[in-house]
Structure 1
Amino acid sequence: MPLTDTQIKNLKKQDKPKKYSDGGGLFLFIPPQGSKLWRLAYRYDNKQKTLALGAYPIVSLADARKKRDDAKRLLGSGIDPSQQAKLDKIHRRASNAITFNAVADEFLEKVEREGKADATMTKKRWLIDLARDDLGTRPISEISAAEILVPLRRVEAKGNYETARRMRSTVGQVFRFAIATARAENDPTGGLKGALTTPTVTHRPAITQRNALGGLLRAIWGYEGAPETKHALMLMAYLYPRPGELRLAEWAEFDLEQSAWTIPAARAKMRREHKKPLPSQAVEILHIQKELTGDGRLVFPSIKSRVQPISENTLNGALRRLGFTQKEMTSHGFRATASSLLNESGNWSPDAIEAELAHVGADMVRRAYHRALYWDERVKMADWWAEEVESMRSSTN
């Protein structure tokens, strides 16, 4: 007869092992020690086998019967329940070993192999580290959106809304890497886009009025500090690169005879090589600068070490000494300045301007056009802009 809970509770240990059948191969095994252990007797491949189902009362009578029925279904499909139990155990151990920390470390190694800039790697590591205390030891396949929201809310609570947004994006990259490498089935961060506070966009300060820009240019050309800093500011005005691209520039990147500067993919923000035409005014400044630092690798080395570039604050600090506050102009602002005035002129196609700024086009076709089709226009545009800089610098209106 089938067992009952009352009967099982009243069973006592005996001097010899005892079995109590529940039917369908399920039985309760009580060794002399008194434990109450569920077992399933079955035949597979013409062999008598026994499957352990757990101990009573942790595994209740109802649970034991369900496990028996599940095993019978496996047998009906030609699967040995004991072998399946071993595979499930291995899978659980493997899943537990694949933690967020382990996958995140692999992801960072992959990104670094792809040649991402040191600054990019530092930011990714920092953003991922913000999540490690809460997610690090958890199996990545088991992490829920609610768990990820905990460290995100902690960052938001400090008012760092943009950091929280970037953290969600970077953690999402870890999950998508886990999906691509068969360690997870979904990215829980996707459902959190609407949960975070949208940061207020603050545009970088830039001077875009011609008269005011003329005053800035005259101040730069009259700068009495280090000549290397003056030359760097002059080139920012002529070429409007990203400050880091100029700060880290190496002499090997410049072909002064062909009037071209090729910024390597490893240093370009969009991770693709960017070639810029050089107007004659920029070439002249570079020749002068080469007399100062041409015996080294860097165009603008630090005064403390010839193998280290000038610091990130060198150009902005020079602008402050010239009297321009952080709210008026920054070194990055030269890009917005040039972009605004080039577009306002109506002389150049928007795509050529975007190409010169090294922005990513709408699709791969446009990227190819940016590199090739607009080169001649960009050469003319570079010369025109240099003449405009000279005109605004010389004007007293």
Structure 2
Amino acid sequence: MPRLAVPLTESQIRALEPRATRYCVADGNGLVIEVMTTGTKVWRFRYSLNGRRQPLATIGDYRMISLRVARAKAQKYAEMVAQGVSPVATARRDRGAESKADVLREAAELYLATEMAGKSAEYRRTTRRALDKDVLPAIGGMAIKAVTADDVVAICERIKSRGSPKMALHTRNVIKRLYAYLIARQLATSNPADVVPARSIATFDSRTRVLSGDEIGAMLRAIDASSIRRPLKLALHLLVLTMARKSDLVESRWDEFDLDHARWTIPATRLNKEQDQRVHLPRQAVSMLRELQRAKASGSFVFPSVRGGDKPIAKSTLNQAVKALGLEVEHFVLHDFRRTAAAHLRNMTQSTDTADETGGQDANQEEAAEQRAQVQGWADFVESQIEGGRKDGVSSV
């Protein structure tokens, strides 16, 4: 019985080096990639017809055809062979239909069709918008290798002149990712956006970074639509709702929560303080915690490590999860959630000096009720930002 080929990955294909003689590596279902002595890589289709092995049918240059597209073509040709039809003529027509990505506009379309295919709807939308609105009108007709850092700066300066420094920086990053992709596919040799420092386009004081309502909604929709583990999605959402420090949340224990009374009491020993800290929980947070409780993987920790042992996830886990998502929120760190919540709460809460001077327990109860109302108001605001984007068709979570 013939040995089945182990499916290839894009990174494995990029790592294939030329040898003294050309050679083929199989992906499966008749699809192989041939590595020439020059380093060029070409997709081929291996098949037999009427019991006889046939010459390899050429699918096309790897630089122009992604692994996903090559597999789709191989499947089509395999179906033709199963019907006793040679795929050679069809493969030749397919190659003629492939546009040569020697100008940036065509390369960008290849990038959107291949690299962006597995990204979230929001990520694809913001990338497409930057390309269509500012990048391609300016340099879309230029040869890939002719684009310079000066061209990138000029695009960013035009966007900044509209009063949108954050969009300018986002657009620079889109160009940078596009060229990184083209370099990986050997369609470009250098990245013109690499030498354009972010600080020359837009700078933010990390101590004053506050996310807008739209950014909050876009971020949480992207997190919900991502492939990261469900507990990490809920942890990131809970960071927004509870306004807790990252370390306080990831190291939280089940015995700290009273979900029936919507309370979380963080022990003073964990805080290195003299008193416990009480956190009022909005109904959305309680719902998420109950979901985590139903799927409880640890008797102690709300967010246990997947590596075993009774210990919580590492403090860096949430940072790594956010970084892996490639979220389109510039100069953002997780601590900004707390600052963002505080800033929005100040805007949402009208200052008042009408509190009764009843003192004692009544005053404490009144203060607790006010805090619960504020926390719930913040959670409702966050929920409205998420749902508003969905209604507008921004993302399908």
Q: TM-score, normalised by structure 1?
A: 0.42
> Highest CA radius of gyration, 1 or 2?
1
Greater RCO between the two (CA within 8 Å, min separation 6)? Answer: 2
Q: TM-score, normalised by structure 2?
A: 0.42
